[in-house]
Structure 1
Amino acid sequence: MAKWHGKACVEITDAKAEDVWPFLADFCSLNKWFPTLESCIRVEGVNGEPGCVRYCAGFKTHIEHADGNHFNWTKQKLLSIDPENMTFAYSIIDGNVGFNSYVSKVTVLPRADRCAIEWVYEVEPVEGWKLENLDQFISNGLNVMAKRMEEALKTGA
């Protein structure tokens, strides 16, 4: 089956890569950064080490569910992490949002006096979604993450 491939990238103008990387290297803190994500907890392994599994819940997607009690969730497994090159890869191993064979690589890219975060992914086509929906979901999420990280660095949070 053909997979969807996508990439989002956002510049962070007020931070260096080595300041942003620790936010992402903390694999189980995604709820601090990703919009509408209510919880992100470690359920297996050691945080920040390959094999670690996080449970992420409460995020919103473009799909409206008739059942008002619907609660989006995924389990995500850290596949690899390379602090020297400020990159990690993870996969979605379970969930109720239809992301099958989802694998993502997130990298902090150093720039002269700033940095960028790049999020590359592939996934089997998702029922009820178009590739543009997923691109927008990830791009919007990454933009909010960058703003929240910039603010955290400014306030020392």
Structure 2
Amino acid sequence: MEAEEVSKKWEGKVSAKVRGPRAEQVWTLLQEFFNFHNYFPSLATCHGIQGISGELGCVRYCSGSSIRSSDGHGGSWSKERLVAVDAKQRSFSYEILESNIGFKSYVATMKVVDIDEVEEGELNGLCVIEWSFEVEAVEGWELDDLVSMYQAGLVCMARRIEDLLGSR
């Protein structure tokens, strides 16, 4: 009788500050589930393939070069379904349905947190984008490398959002 191998789950969380715009302004951009390519570096395309952007159950197709494909050739792609939205908490969760990047049982949450910051006697807008995920361990990968890649991408995304909203 063969012993069953239990798949190890990886969990990670990264965050990036967005200076200038308030959380509501950032949330307005991020809640458009089909427009992630407008803000995330190395994501060439993101478009809806089912449902209405931002509504539960809608599905998007994303492709780019931020994560290598599982066969090591060409760009990566994924089909992702929106599984939860909480406008009051400014958060949404999604799962990967299909991909060529080797992720199984992938669920992620993005959240925008409003923070007040005082600089030189003035109250300035500051919010934080948090991106957490849980995924079945991927053979040939290290969790720390995945977290580092997400962190770098999220920091670039925060700078793009600042530029777009005229905060820098």
CA contact (8 A) 1:63 1:128 kept: no
Q: Aligned residue for 1:12?
A: 18
Residue segments in structure 2 that go unaligned for 5+ positions in a row: 1-6, 117-124
Q: Aligned residue for 1:98?
A: 102
Q: Aligned residue for 1:60?
A: 66
Q: Aligned residue for 1:139?
A: 151
d(CA) in 2 for partners of 1:14 and 1:65? 41
The reply to whether residue 34 of structure 1 matches residue 40 of structure 2 is yes
Residue segments in structure 1 that go unaligned for 5+ positions in a row: none
CA contact (8 A) 2:69 2:100 kept: no
1:66 CA displacement: 5.9
d(CA) in 2 for partners of 1:31 and 1:53? 14
Q: TM-score, normalised by structure 2?
A: 0.86
Counterparts in 2 of 1:66 and 1:26: CA distance versus 1, 3 Å: closer
1:2 CA displacement: 2.1
1:60 CA displacement: 2.7
**TM alignment of 1:78-93, pairs within 5 A:** 78-93=82-97
Q: Which has the larger share of strand?
A: 2
SS of the residue 2:85 aligns to: strand
d(CA) in 2 for partners of 1:111 and 1:82? 18
Counterpart of 2:126 (choices 114, 133, 136) is 114
Q: TM-score, normalised by structure 1?
A: 0.91
The RMSD of aligned alpha carbons is 1.7
Greater Rg over alpha carbons, structure: 2
1:62 CA displacement: 5.9
SS of the residue 1:91 aligns to: strand
User: Aligned letter for 2:76?
Assistant: N
Q: Which has the larger share of helix?
A: 1
d(CA) in 2 for partners of 1:63 and 1:50? 27
| Aligned-residue identity in percent | 38
The one-character-per-residue Cα deviations of 1:64-122 (angstroms, maximum 9, x if unpaired) are 9664xx22100010001111110000001100000110000110001013100001100
d(CA) in 2 for partners of 1:18 and 1:151? 16
d(CA) in 2 for partners of 1:115 and 1:15? 7
